[in-house]
Amino acid sequence: MRQLFFRSFFSGFLFVILFTSYTMSQGGMTASHFMFNEACFNPSVAGHNPQLEVAMLSRTQWVGFDEAPRSGFLTLHAYQRRIGGLGLVVLNDRTGFESTLNINFQYAHHLRLSTYSTLSLGAGLGLLRKAVDGTKLIYEDEGDVNAIMHLKKKMKPDFSFGIEFNTPEFTFGVSATHLGQSFNESTLFDIPVHYYSYAKYRGELSYRFNLVQSAMYRASDNLQQFYLSTILFYDNSLWLGVAYRSQDAIVGLVGFHVSENIKFGYSYDVTMGRIQKFNDGSHEVMLRYGFDLNQKPLLRTTSRVF
């Protein structure tokens, strides 16, 4: 009965995001390995496992374009008894002559609902810095009073909030980043609020094979996008998957455990649409390391799907 409920919920969630998503544009940081790294956009993930987790990701988008987008992040989070989940996220994104640096400290409170379920609430506080190198820009009207003629930077406080529900088979979360900004207005130096919702379901096919289905929907000013993925795990140490990002790309994913505590992942995006003929796709590399803190997990089994 419990598995039937989760399957029905997951199918309903997919229907909702497929129905409501209709347009996509480049905004925020795109990551094909989102299903492994929700801590980047949901502070309630901090401390979800008893280990100290460190993750690094590097992405090169639209290979072949001059000044093509390059991005990466570093996340570090752990659970501290009597305190809660603590985390640090550093995001760095560069597109053309524009760059963004986001440093966010996270705290999460995990509520144990039962032996097999938890509810996590999290908040993030940090700094967001935007920079534009105006010395490399060419203007049709050099006398334009709004023209940026030098390296211009702007820094402001940044806030985020999120909720996540977990069982050994199912994860569902919602979050918002860049709170304090406007949802309907964004400028060169102001990033709009980003909203996320996602779900994951893990099913056992056999003793050694597991299938994990994931879905994410995100929205901001001028952006509505959904992402679907299916990943097959062998012996919980090797995985192979395929994903689709709406009106953007078809993604292939592969990964393995380098050792008991080290995970390596690689993805390749095949770009869709008119831009396809002008680039050679996108590459993404992920590395995750888990330090054992000798703490008991929040649930009787693993507290999250990944």
- Which has more pLDDT, 60 or 215? 215
How high is the pLDDT of residue 4?
44
Lowest mean pLDDT among 99-108, 130-139, 149-158, 263-272: 130-139
Lowest mean pLDDT among 15-19, 55-59, 131-135, 156-160: 15-19
What does the alpha-carbon distance between residue 250 and residue 247 come to, in Å, rounded to a whole number?
Answer: 9
Tell me how many degrees the CA angle 162-189-74 measures, rounded to the nearest 5.
Answer: 45
The structural domains of the chain, ordered by start, are 2-291 (2.40.160.40)
φ and ψ of 265, to 5 deg: -135, 145
- Which has more pLDDT, 36 or 81? 36
Q: What average pLDDT score do residues 196-216 get?
A: 93
Find out whether 226 and 233 touch, Cβ atoms under 8 Å: no
DSSP assignment of 162-212, as one string? EEEEE-SSEEEEEEEEEETB-SS--BTTBPPPEEEEEEEEEEESSSSEEEE
Q: Is 84 left (phi over 0), alpha (psi -120 to 50) or beta?
A: left
Residue 140 pLDDT > 70, yes or no?
Answer: no
Find out whether 264 and 289 touch, Cβ atoms under 8 Å: no
How high is the pLDDT of residue 19?
37
pLDDT band at 89 (very low <50, low <70, confident <90, very high): very high
Show the tokens assigned to 154: 């702007």
pLDDT band at 231 (very low <50, low <70, confident <90, very high): very high
